[in-house]
């Protein structure tokens, strides 16, 4: 049985841990509010650019673009979005597992795919498992700006335009609610399956539909990557807040159990001392 000193030390250390996890929970909650607002506000821009592109792409014109045309898939590019650190429940492991399962299901050779890694946890996983990394970025801000990832997003799109890959797929955690995040696997390119967005506007294009499409399609694909990153960041903060709340609650339960054990051990020690005193007094009679 542990001594009173050992139990007391465990109670002290657990209380300190609870203070840390509680502070991390509050910080994540604050970051989540901003991240959720960023994701919602950006969706308005994304929806508008999709409306314009679908309006052009679905009209009966001769307008075409390589990003709208399917081709035989010989090599796939995956964008994997993870966090730069852990302590976020299953946030990182779920995304990494989805990448692993997708690769196992779809590919027989490592030459058939490459990964663009956003986030240290995913990048480290790829390096440890000898998975080809075409691009990588770590240290993305908790509230990322478009300029932060424009370079890697444009290079990912350029891989398709240069025919180094034949499709581009993104894997990330989609924010559903504070306690729920879902893994999404979305095909970004080709954009041949782009939905026809509802529009109440009539557009006249100048200099022409083809020129507009050439300018907007790469930008649209980049915006999808940025939108997924904003969504993933909201999921990350929610997952970390939930994990830290769970850790705080568990620490509280452990402190209660240790306090009960401490009181029982102290009571047993007092009882033992009284017994020894009574026994000693009886021996002197």
What is residue 196's predicted lDDT score, i.e. its pLDDT?
53
pLDDT in tens, 187-198: 888 876 555 545
**Could you give the percent of the chain with pLDDT greater than 70?**
90
Output the CATH code of domain 4-24+243-284: 1.10.287.80
Strand partners, 137: 118
- CATH label, 35-241, candidates 3.55.40.20, 2.102.10.10, 3.40.1380.10, 3.40.1390.30: 3.40.1380.10
Ranges of each domain in the chain = 4-24+243-284, 35-241
Report d(CA 98, CA 125) in Å as an integer.
13
This prediction's pTM: 0.84
**For the chain, what is the largest distance between any 2 Cα atoms, rounded to a whole number of angstroms?**
115
Whether the pLDDT of residue 21 is over 90: the answer is: yes
Same fold, 4-24+243-284 and 35-241: no
Report d(CA 50, CA 220) in Å as an integer.
7
DSSP per-residue codes, 200-258: ------SS-HHHHHHHHHHHHHHHHHHHHHHHHHHHHHHHHHHHHHHHHHHHHHHHHHH
Which residue, among 190, 170, 168, 200, has the nearest Cα to 51 in the 3D structure? 200
Strand partners, 170: 79, 186
Average pLDDT over residues 117-128: 94
224 burial (CB, 10 Å; 0-12 / 13-18 / 19+) is: buried
pLDDT in tens, 104-119: 999 999 899 999 999 9
């Amino acid at each position: 049985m542990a001594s009173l000193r050992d139990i007391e030390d465990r109670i002290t250390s657990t209380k300190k841990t609870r203070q840390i996890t509680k502070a991390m929970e509050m910080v994540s909650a604050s970051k989540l509010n901003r991240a959720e607002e960023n994701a919602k506000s950006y969706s308005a821009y994304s929806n508008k650019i999709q409306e314009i592109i679908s309006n052009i792409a679905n009209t009966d014109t001769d307008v075409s673009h390589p990003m709208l045309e399917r081709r035989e898939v010989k090599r796939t590019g995956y964008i994997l979005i993870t966090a730069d650190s852990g302590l976020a429940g299953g946030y990182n492991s779920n995304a990494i597992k989805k990448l692993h399962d997708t690769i196992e299901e779809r590919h027989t050779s490592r030459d058939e795919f490459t990964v663009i890694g956003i986030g240290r946890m995913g990048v480290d996983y790829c390096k440890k498992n000898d998975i080809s990394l075409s691009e990588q970025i770590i240290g993305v801000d908790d509230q990322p700006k478009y300029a932060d990832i424009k370079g890697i997003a444009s290079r990912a799109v350029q891989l398709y335009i240069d025919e180094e890959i034949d499709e581009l797929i993104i894997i990330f955690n989609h924010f559903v609610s504070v306690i729920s995040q879902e893994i999404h696997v979305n095909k970004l390119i080709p954009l041949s399956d782009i939905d026809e967005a509802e529009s109440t506007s009539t557009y006249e294009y100048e200099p022409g539909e083809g020129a507009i499409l050439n300018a907007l399609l790469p930008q649209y694909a980049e915006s999808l990557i940025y939108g997924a990153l904003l969504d993933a960041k909201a999921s990350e903060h929610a997952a970390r807040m939930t994990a830290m709340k769970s850790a705080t609650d568990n620490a509280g339960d452990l402190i209660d159990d240790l306090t009960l054990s401490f009181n029982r051990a102290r009571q047993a020690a007092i009882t033992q001392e009284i017994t020894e005193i009574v026994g000693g007094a009886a021996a002197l009679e």
